[in-house]
A and B are shown apart, each in its own frame.
Chain A
Amino acid sequence: MRALEHTALRPLRAADAGATRLFGWRHNPLHQTGALAAALLGLLIITGLYLLVFYRVGAPWQSVARLQADPFLGRWIRSLHRFASDAMVVAVVLHAWRLFAQARSWGPRALAWTSGVVLLAVLFVSGWTGYVMVWDTFGAELAVGGARLFDALPVLSEPVRRIFAGDQSIPSAFFFINLFLHVALPLGAAAGLWIHLSRLARPALLPPRPLLYAVFGALTLLSLAAPSPLAPEASLLAVERDIPVDLFFAFWLPWANALPPWLAWMGAAGTFALAMLVPWLTRRPRTGTWTPSVVDERQCTGCNQCPQDCPWDAVSMVPREQAHGAQSTMVARVNPVRCVSCGVCAGSCAPMGVGPLGHTGRDQVAQVRQAYSNAGARELRPVAICCEHAAPEYLAALRDRDADVRLVPCAGNIHTSALELTLRAGAPGVMVFTCPPRDCRGREGPKWLHERMFNDREAELQVRVNRKRVATAVMAWGDRPAVLDAWTSFAARLKAYDALSLGQLDEPLGALCEPVPLEEPR
């Protein structure tokens, strides 16, 4: 399964790089597939409510045909509803692919993965009911195909397919049940999102507004320019030759028609079971990189910062069992079941008392000391600290440009004391390259790092550190020029600053007068 993850990662990185080149990392839709899926669900509910007003269970096709005949609203809203549902399937599948390829499907994330698989199944069933409701030739084909599969189960003695034999009209109750399910399932999916996101702190439910407007606008334009046609009304005594099929929802139909029902069921059940088992198949031992954070209670001051910063709600404050002297009454405690070992808590802890083993603030400081212990009098190079998930070829390019490249598990893991010590050891400057904020495996690493370095968030970079010698930049796949530009500018800035302040002490306080915005103005 690990080999499959690596195989899936390669095309993902290529796609990421391409999308970043075209849209920039801020608006790369591949970084925000989950948020896009949630936004599209909202759009589907809104457009669905409009369509619901005009739908009639007694005359399903005729009511949709009336909508289709309305060129002002009905036709494009129906098309928007359809295309948005297709886009949602694409977004959800890409979201699953991304998380699988990035090994984010197991351990503490298993609940999100398995609930996501169930939500995807709900999406497909909901789509099935929606198309059947229209009762055009495609809807009838889906209904008959579904009935054929259902009849293979030993549930009812009377075949469901007899409803569609053609000797009697389809009862309104059938369409009413479909309508009910088509309304209830998406609402249930919206509630299921709560479970899906229950282990996240501050989940991002919507993409950035420009991307949101662009996606909704593009789908609206498509609906206006090339609305989805309405297929002819279903006739159960006619054999349709060419049926316009929505492959996003009916990809299974050709197989289900060609295979014996039991084989089709086995294929569906096997696929579902395999998807549900992915967290188990991809799990890692919780050692090394994957060891959960631990709290050194002797160091904990009870400041409540790590619970605030943890992107997974894995840290909570509990009463200290035995307080000695001036120790706080509360102490942080990590729930290892929820901890994904991102190390963001290590960067948040001023006394350096929490973090995954080997990645706490103390470990980082020790590593810096070790790195500079033999530096001697030689001239030190500016340091580029990069997230280890960054593009390796960019690292080589940075080394070619005289950068002393260091890797960390996540930029949010970096303790500001380690940055300060690096400068005090003689490095002329430190630039931290983070993943794009919406693609951070620690979810909020870039955000918290920026706030700690420039906006005085606990554990802040101390006032005595000259802000002109530190910087952050985003290292996104496909954005090599921006990475190298950022580094070149930073290196030039350091050189210019060193030339100006030759023989003088740094003046660090100036940079702290105003908070620095999280993203540079575009």
Chain B
Amino acid sequence: MTHASWPHRLAALAVTTVALALLRAGSLVPLRATAAGDSVLRLSWSARPERIEQCRRLTNAELAERPQHMRLRWECEGRFARYLLTVTIDGQVLAADTVHGGGLRHDRPMHLFREYAVAPGQRRLGIRLRRIDANVRPDSTSDQTAAGAAAADRETREAQERRVRRAEALPEVVALDTLLTVASQRVALVSYASGQQKFVLRTHD
């Protein structure tokens, strides 16, 4: 075979070396992920929208008609509120969208993840999340007292649970208006702290 000659062996060695070099080069290709100098404003949170509902206090007779495991004193119908999200940088509107809860029926927590490219430097950042839907009628009540101690205790727990849910939900308006110093190649992260019901800004530094 002619390939066993020295020139062929040297050529085979050279081709193998080039193939290996190409393999290594293909394994370490620098990818330009962003334009030079770009920074990112990232909004990321999970929050429960406020429930817009009309509640009615059932009478003792109505409760008695229901199976044991369905005897909730307060019967509520409604949906979760929608919010208007407005994001501005130096007065320029980056977004003004309606956002709502997750899931097909929008009855899950509102999960939000957005990114906006921003130029580095000192910027005035404005983020405002304002509830669009509002309660229109007060809850209707019945003046009957709960029948029995167990029913009274359950009613108290119901009221407590509703208070907790309301406290955990997004308030009518959450806003952040701050001077933001964005460094080059850095992310400014805005998340929502449900305990304090306010936006929290974090930067790399």
In the complex, how many angstroms separate the beta carbon of A519 from the nearest chain B beta carbon? 12
Q: How far is the CB of B200 from chain A (nearest CB, A)?
A: 8
- Return A47 CB to nearest CB of chain B, in Å: 15
Query: A22-B11, A157-B111, A245-B31 known; A165 and B42 CB under 8 Å?
Result: yes
B34 within 8 A of A: yes
Q: Does A166 contact B (CB under 8 A)?
A: yes
What are the residues of chain B within 8 A of A244 when measuring CB–CB?
28-31
With A218-B16, A237-B202, A238-B204 known as contacts, the answer to whether A157 contacts B103 (CB < 8 A) is: yes
For residue A82, which residue of chain B has the nearest CB? B27
Q: A239-B185, A242-B32, A253-B31 are in contact. Are A158 and B44 (CB under 8 A)?
A: no
Q: A162-B46, A239-B187 given as contacts; is B1 within 8 A of A482 (CB)? A: yes
A239 touches B29 (CB 8 A): no
Question: Residue A63 at the B interface, CB < 8 A?
Answer: no
| Contact yes or no, A239 B191, CB < 8 A | no
**A112→B162 CA distance, assembly (Å):** 60
A254 close to B (CB within 8 Å):
yes
Most A CB within 10 A of own CB, among B31, B34, B42, B113 = B31
User: Which B residues between 49 and 70 are near A, CB-CB below 8 angstroms?
Assistant: none
Residues on A with beta carbons closer than 8 Å to the beta carbon of B149:
none
Q: Which of A450-509 contact B (CB under 8 A)?
A: 479, 481-482
Count residues of A near B (Cβ-Cβ below 8 Å). Answer: 49
Could you say which residues of chain B place their CB within 8 Å of the CB of A362?
none
B166 at the interface (CB under 8 A from A): no
B20 at the A interface (CB under 8 A): yes
Residues in B whose Cβ lies below 8 Å from that of A218: 16, 20
- List, in ascending order, chain A residues with CB within 8 A of B42's CB: 165-166
Taking residues whose C-beta sits less than 8 angstroms from the other chain, chain B's interface range is 35 or more
Q: How would residues 236 to 256 of chain A score, 1 for a CB under 8 Å from any chain B CB and 0 otherwise?
A: 111111111111101001100
**A11 adjacent to chain B (CB < 8 Å):** no
Cβ–Cβ contact B16 & A83, under 8 A: no
- The answer for the CA separation of A157 and B99 in the assembled complex, in Å, is 13
B8 touches A22 (CB 8 A): yes
Known: A24-B3, A166-B187, A241-B32. A246 touches B26 (CB 8 A): yes
Please state if B28 and A141 are interface contacts (CB–CB under 8 Å): no
When A and B form their complex, what is the total count of cross-chain residue pairs whose Cβ atoms lie within 8 Å?
132
CB closest residue in chain B, given A147: B113
B33 close to chain A: CB less than 8 A: yes
Asked whether A162 and B23 contact (CB < 8 A) given A22-B15, A23-B3, A24-B3, the answer is: no
Cβ A23 vs Cβ B12 within 8 A: yes
Query: What residues of chain A lie closer than 8 Å to B191, measured between beta carbons?
Result: 165, 167
Chain A residues within 8 Å of B8, by CB:
21-22
- Of all chain B residues, the one with the shortest Cβ separation from A476 is B1
Q: Which of A24, A90, A237 contacts B203 (CB 8 A)?
A: A237
Known: A22-B12, A222-B24, A239-B187. A481 touches B2 (CB 8 A): yes
* Residue from B1, B3, B27, B38 within 8 A of A83 (CB atoms): B27
Q: Complex formed: what's the CA distance from A221 to B23 in Å?
A: 13
Q: Is the CB of B24 within 8 A of A162?
A: no
Report B-chain residues with C-beta under 8 Å of the C-beta of A165.
42, 44, 113, 189, 191
Answer whether A86 and B3 are a contact pair too, CB < 8 Å, given A158-B46, A218-B20.
no
What is the distance, in angstroms, from B142's C-beta to the closest C-beta of chain A? 37
The verdict on B108 contacting chain A, using a C-beta distance below 8 Å, is yes
Question: Using Cβ atoms and an 8 Å threshold, which residues of chain A touch B26?
Answer: 86, 246-248
Q: Which of A158, A244, A482 has the most CB of B within 10 A?
A: A158
What mask results when residues 101 to 113 of chain A are scored 1 for a CB within 8 Å of chain B, else 0? 0000000000000
* Residues B111-156 near A (CB distance < 8 A): 111, 113
Q: A82-B27, A157-B108 are in contact. Are A24 and B1 (CB under 8 A)?
A: yes
Pair B44/A86 contact, Cβ less than 8 Å: no
Q: What are 22 A-to-B residue pairs whose CB atoms are below 8 Å?
A: A24-B1, A83-B27, A86-B23, A87-B23, A159-B111, A165-B113, A166-B187, A166-B189, A167-B191, A167-B202, A222-B20, A222-B24, A237-B204, A238-B187, A244-B29, A244-B31, A248-B27, A250-B31, A257-B33, A479-B2, A482-B1, A522-B4
- Point out residues on A near B: beta carbons under 8 Å: 20-24, 82-83, 86-87, 90, 141, 151, 157-159, 161-162, 165-167, 218-219, 221-222, 226, 228-229, 235-248, 250, 253-254, 257, 479, 481-482, 522
Interface residues of B (CB under 8 A from A): 1-4, 8, 11-12, 15-16, 20, 23-24, 26-34, 36, 38-40, 42, 44, 46, 102-103, 108-109, 111, 113, 185-187, 189, 191, 202-204
Shortest 7 CB-CB contacts between residues of A and residues of B? A157-B102, A165-B44, A245-B31, A237-B204, A158-B111, A22-B12, A159-B113
16 more A-B residue pairs beyond the given contacts A141-B31, A237-B204, with a C-beta to C-beta distance below 8 A: A21-B2, A23-B3, A83-B24, A86-B23, A158-B102, A162-B111, A162-B113, A166-B189, A229-B28, A237-B202, A239-B33, A239-B38, A239-B185, A244-B28, A246-B28, A482-B2
